[in-house]
């Protein structure tokens, strides 16, 4: 009996010290200090390109290409072929880069001599309803556009809206999915939507929701809505958030920007979601001074069970082949300490 | 003494009642006028500074002036918008023009844009004719409007009526 207790104790010690004996660790393995154009706006969708550089859009700053040595302008602000305005989503399009420009235009850029040049436009045949879409994904020869798309703007006080609009490759509308009713008093269209491909499935996460909508990419229907396990500190969005407050009048950009900052940091909003290395990684804000700014929630891709919860002050930008790229000290335009562009690279390491 | 006191009281009461009555009539008049006359945008809110110099580009990349378009019809409906702005508003403006075209009215659409190829690709998809592009600098210099989209009714070269389109 005593012998069995000894074995159990040794096993317990081994398990509890697992991190010290051969367990994997999420560790920083690289750091970029690129020079060049400053980044000062809130980060939007991003991706890692063929050359393993970061391509992303930043509110007010524009589209940028970040390499280990420099930050360069991907496209200037304007209406010319290689310019961009009202840009939001970014994704891979058959090896090229697709940037969504509101309303309804996708600009395709090709990598040439270390930077991107415009190749063509794809026009989405958009309807007459008001929409503010935030993200885009090309998968299974279709465009999946995520964001708030009102279906009938004449109804009040709440409007029917869809979170995903699907178009064929040439821009013909195919279907709208995940419908709900949104109050006209809100600015829910300011929220972020994260749309990610996982084989023949499309995952959609919404900034203020703790579930994953799983869409069949081929059949274009909502297969599942999976509730994610959330950590105990999770602070849900208060009801008053994303409602007009009009501190300095409804049309004041200053008041909107202040409110946006408060909204984004005031609750455990999802700041990014990525699939890589067998995990669905969801980064949320802790909104709690006892912790660092963000929590990284690693869910196993097959069962969507929460496996690891880690904390960081860095903002998750994108991931590729097991490397996770972070903007040091938070999201530029929202968090303090982000004046210099520093990219921290993390990996799972077997110790 | 008693008589003059009661006389004073009667006078005071009369003036007080008169004041109240005048106030009531004034308030009623304001309410009635507000209901009778809806707030309308005056046509002066929109103006063409120099139609001879307002250059427009057709889908065939030919330059015409706004003046040429204005003198060609007695009654013309002109929609001015930015197709890269609120698309819901642009769509409504174009739909209204289409309805007017069905009633055999002369209609022209003008969009504010700087890139001709962009304009052409979009216009072909939207399939509305006739449509022209005005460059931003020319729009700001020669067309004065506080808001777009706007539909302008022009009779014999004079702005008769305007309607701004919003969500």
pLDDT digits 0-9 by tens, A116-137? 999 999 999 988 887 888 899 9
Q: Is B100 an interface residue toward A (CB < 8 Å)?
A: no
> Which of B92, B122, B167 lies nearest to residue A123, judging by beta carbons?
B122
Q: Say whether both B85 and B123 belong to one domain.
A: yes
* C-beta atoms of B84 and A125 within 8 A: no
Q: Say whether both B66 and B147 belong to one domain.
A: yes
Q: Say whether both B79 and B8 belong to one domain.
A: no
Question: What is the structure's pLDDT at A18?
Answer: 43
Lookup: tokens for B7? 């006389």
Q: Say whether both B31 and B51 belong to one domain.
A: no
DSSP A18: G
Report B:48-87 residues touching A (Cβ under 8 A): 84, 86-87
Q: Say whether both B81 and B151 belong to one domain.
A: yes
Q: Say whether both B33 and B45 belong to one domain.
A: no
Question: What is the structure's pLDDT at A5?
Answer: 61
Question: What is the structure's pLDDT at A17?
Answer: 43
With a cut of 50, say whether residue A14 has pLDDT above it.
Answer: no
For residues A334 and A220, the model is more confident at: A220
Question: B84, B94, B167: which to substitute to probe chain A, counting the most A Cβ within 10 Å?
Answer: B84
CA angle B118, A142, A120 (to 5 degrees): 25
With a cut of 50, say whether residue A21 has pLDDT above it.
Answer: no
Q: Say whether both B71 and B96 belong to one domain.
A: yes
Residue A307's nearest CA partner among A298, A315, A316, A318 is A298
Is the pTM higher than 0.90? Answer: no
Residue B91 CA to residue A345 CA, distance in Å, equals 46
In sequence order, the 6+-apart residues with CB closer than 8 A to the CB of B79 are B93, B94, B96, B97, B107, B108, B109, B110, B149, B150, B151, B152
Question: What is the structure's pLDDT at B37?
Answer: 59
Which chain A residue's Cα is nearest to B135?
Answer: A79
Please check whether residue A58 is in contact with residue A42, taking contact to mean a CB–CB distance below 8 angstroms.
Answer: yes
Count of structural domains, chain B: 2
Q: For all residues of chain A together, what is the average pLDDT?
A: 89
Instruction: Report pLDDT digits (tens) over B17-53.
Output: 889 999 999 888 887 777 665 555 566 789 999 999 9
Q: Say whether both B115 and B55 belong to one domain.
A: yes
Q: Say whether both B100 and B62 belong to one domain.
A: yes
CATH number at residue B132: 3.40.30.10
Q: How many CB pairs under 8 A join A and B?
A: 40
Instruction: Report pLDDT digits (tens) over A154-209.
Output: 767 788 999 999 999 999 999 999 999 988 778 888 899 999 999 999 999 999 99
Q: Say whether both B69 and B82 belong to one domain.
A: yes
Q: Is B33 an interface residue toward A (CB < 8 Å)?
A: no
Residue A113's nearest CA partner among A51, A35, A69 is A51
Instruction: Report pLDDT digits (tens) over B55-114.
Output: 999 999 999 999 999 988 889 999 999 998 888 899 989 999 999 999 999 999 999 999
Lookup: tokens for A102? 């509101």
Range of the domain at B33: 1-37
Q: Say whether both B135 and B148 belong to one domain.
A: yes
ipTM over 0.95? The verdict is no
Q: Helix or strand or coil: residue A66?
A: strand
Sheet holding B158-164, edge to edge: B63-65, B55-58, B131-134, B106-112, B75-81, B150-155, B158-164
* C-beta atoms of B92 and A128 within 8 A: yes
Residue A239 CA to residue A8 CA, distance in Å, equals 49
Q: Say whether both B73 and B136 belong to one domain.
A: yes
């Amino acid at each position: 009996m005593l012998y069995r207790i000894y074995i159990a104790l040794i096993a317990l010690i081994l398990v509890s010290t697992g991190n010290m004996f051969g367990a994997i660790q999420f560790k920083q393995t690289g750091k970029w200090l690129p020079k060049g154009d400053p980044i000062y706006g809130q980060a939007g969708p991003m991706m890692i390109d063929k050359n393993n550089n970061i391509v992303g859009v930043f509110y007010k700053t524009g589209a940028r290409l970040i390499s280990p040595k420099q930050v360069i302008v991907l496209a200037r602000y304007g209406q010319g072929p290689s310019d961009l305005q009202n840009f939001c989503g970014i994704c891979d399009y058959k090896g090229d880069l697709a940037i969504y420009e509101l309303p309804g235009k996708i600009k395709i850029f090709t990598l040439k001599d270390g930077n991107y040049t415009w190749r063509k436009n794809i026009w989405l045949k958009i309807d007459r309803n008001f929409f503010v879409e935030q993200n885009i994904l090309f998968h299974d020869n279709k465009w999946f556009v995520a964001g708030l798309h009102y279906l009938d703007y004449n109804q009040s006080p709440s409007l029917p809206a869809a979170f995903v609009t699907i178009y064929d490759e040439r821009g013909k509308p195919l279907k709208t999915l995940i419908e709900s009713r949104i109050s006209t008093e809100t600015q829910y269209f300011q929220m972020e939507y994260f749309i990610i491909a996982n084989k023949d499935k499309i995952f959609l996460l919404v900034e203020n929701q703790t579930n994953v909508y799983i869409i069949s990419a081929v059949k274009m229907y909502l297969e599942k809505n999976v509730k994610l396990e959330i950590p105990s500190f999770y602070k849900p969005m208060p009801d008053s958030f994303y409602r007009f407050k009009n501190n300095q009048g409804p049309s004041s950009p200053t008041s909107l920007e202040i409110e946006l900052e408060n909204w984004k940091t005031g609750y455990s909003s999802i700041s990014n979601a990525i699939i890589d290395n067998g995990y669905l990684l969801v980064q949320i804000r802790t909104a709690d001074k006892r912790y660092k700014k963000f929590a990284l929630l690693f869910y196993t891709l097959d069962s969507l069970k929460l496996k690891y919860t880690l904390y960081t002050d860095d903002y998750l930008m994108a991931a590729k082949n097991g490397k996770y790229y972070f903007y040091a000290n938070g999201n530029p335009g929202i968090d303090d300490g982000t004046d210099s562009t520093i990219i921290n690279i993390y990996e799972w390491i077997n110790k | 003494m008693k008589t003059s006191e009661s006389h004073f009281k009667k006078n005071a009461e009369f003036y007080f009642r008169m004041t109240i009555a005048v106030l009531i009539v004034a308030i009623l008049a304001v309410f009635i006028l507000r209901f009778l006359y809806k707030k309308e945008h005056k046509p002066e809110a929109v103006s063409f500074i120099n139609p001879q110099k307002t250059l427009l580009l057709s889908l065939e990349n030919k330059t015409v002036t706004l003046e040429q378009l204005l003198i060609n019809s007695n009654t013309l409906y002109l929609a001015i918008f930015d197709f890269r702005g609120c698309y819901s508003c642009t769509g409504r403006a174009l739909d209204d023009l289409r309805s007017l075209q069905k009633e055999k009215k002369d209609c022209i659409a003008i969009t504010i844009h700087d890139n001709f190829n962009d304009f052409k690709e979009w216009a072909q998809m939207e399939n509305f004719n006739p449509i022209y592009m005005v460059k931003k600098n020319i729009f700001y210099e020669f067309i004065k409007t506080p808001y777009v989209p706007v539909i302008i009714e022009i009779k014999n070269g004079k702005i008769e009526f305007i309607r701004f389109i919003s969500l």
